[in-house]
Structure 1
């Protein structure tokens, strides 16, 4: 599930509860840093997020509420996959963005493709990051 939530809309208690109702049925939740904080009220605690790996950040609350895996895309800071059993991060490719619209969707599609192809966690993130980077530079489609 990808929230696609606008930071300008803010997070009401009702909006949070609606998302929380779906988490037990969600294998993969694709979010950005603002969505992690908006949903949980906490910053994320992952390696690339400035905390310790597995350290009680907002993504951990989403897992505790029943989500299977949290995939965080952080733009130029890369991405992370957080589950109950592991956490892995991958740096972003350094590019000059020409068209940012849709980069998150391209990242998600790349991740799903790599996952269904049987790639390991870090490989899924790296492939997704590369898809987003190519989209950002206008060399993908």
Structure 2
């Protein structure tokens, strides 16, 4: 199944870029740490970094704060080769998102600061003139839908991408703390899903969209019938179920020596999209995404931990999925 737009290159990615601060050294707890390592953060920026690390083109659409932290994000985007011509700096009280996290497996803590987030300042004006048809797909994470004016801008972008014949990839990425209520989020996500060609989420996220955890898989299957061409239902250590109109495939995971649980979802998306871009079948792209996730959780950071194409090839040649 070839779902990407083949007369174009790269991915147009909508969503936040932020700063991650990792308690240093690895294993340290936030409350006792005396040093932190800074890195590019934000789910969309992480996905873009993962694609660029594989040698692919990625452009980010977002807003950053007009201050030193926003400039840090821009500098990091440039360092990864992420195109930032669609990134707008905003002043006033808007601030970039900040995540303070730990590199440890047990009882990992992550403290997210999202009050007055700059990326929520993205407007319809930011998306109206984007060159959608120049990209193989538009990718977005669910956080762009959590507040206005970003929500309306994202929905407008979905419509323009569809009109340009560009497939839309949606990472559910549900973060309850950014929404006023679960009911509002469920309604907005369900509407957004009607535009999307590929939908990726974990079992809890699909359960949320269905209104109950035990109905999550049924929701994923319904989306594959009514809306999307590909739905990937991730189940953590139990692997993933990939649902298309040709049927379902259950894949396992790669065993790895994890340092932390964070970053797996962003890495999966980058590896999965990289697989599709290289012409792999859907099952092969899912396997590549799973390999990227396994690599990233075994390293410090998220964006800095993203594997190159050579590293993915080496990992896949020496490791097998565990069922």
Partner of 1:5: 174
Give the one of 113, 117, 123 matched to 2:284: 123
Question: Which has the higher mean CA deviation after the structures are superposed, 29-38 or 9-18?
Answer: 9-18
Aligned pairs, number: 129
1:73 deviation in Å? 2.1
Gaps (5+ residues) in structure 2? 1-169, 307-323
Partner of 2:23: none
Matched, 1:70 2:243: no
Matches within 5 A, 1:74-113: 74-113=235-274
Matches within 5 A, 1:11-90: 12-41=182-211, 42-44=215-217, 57-90=218-251
Whether contact under 8 Å (1:73, 1:104) holds in the other structure is no
Whether contact under 8 Å (1:72, 1:81) holds in the other structure is yes
Partner of 1:134: 295
Q: Secondary structure at the match of 2:291?
A: helix
1:11 deviation in Å? 6.7
Q: 1:87 to 1:11 in 2, by over 3 A?
A: farther
1:25 deviation in Å? 1.4
Gaps (5+ residues) in structure 1? 45-56
Max radius of gyration: which structure?
2
Whether contact under 8 Å (1:20, 1:65) holds in the other structure is no
Q: 1:35 to 1:11 in 2, by over 3 A?
A: farther
Name the one with the larger strand percent: 2
Instruction: Give the Cα separation in 2 of the matches to 1:75 and 1:11.
Output: 25
Partner of 2:43: none
- Alpha-carbon displacement from aligned partner over 1:59-93 (angstroms, at most 9, x marks no partner): 11223442332112222111221122221121101
Whether contact under 8 Å (2:271, 2:289) holds in the other structure is yes
- Alpha-carbon displacement from aligned partner over 1:4-42 (angstroms, at most 9, x marks no partner): 113677973322221121222111111000011111130
Whether contact under 8 Å (2:197, 2:227) holds in the other structure is no
The TM-score, its normalising length taken from structure 2, stands at 0.37
1:43 deviation in Å? 3.4
The TM-score, its normalising length taken from structure 1, stands at 0.79
Whether contact under 8 Å (1:40, 1:61) holds in the other structure is no
Instruction: Give the Cα separation in 2 of the matches to 1:32 and 1:7.
Output: 14
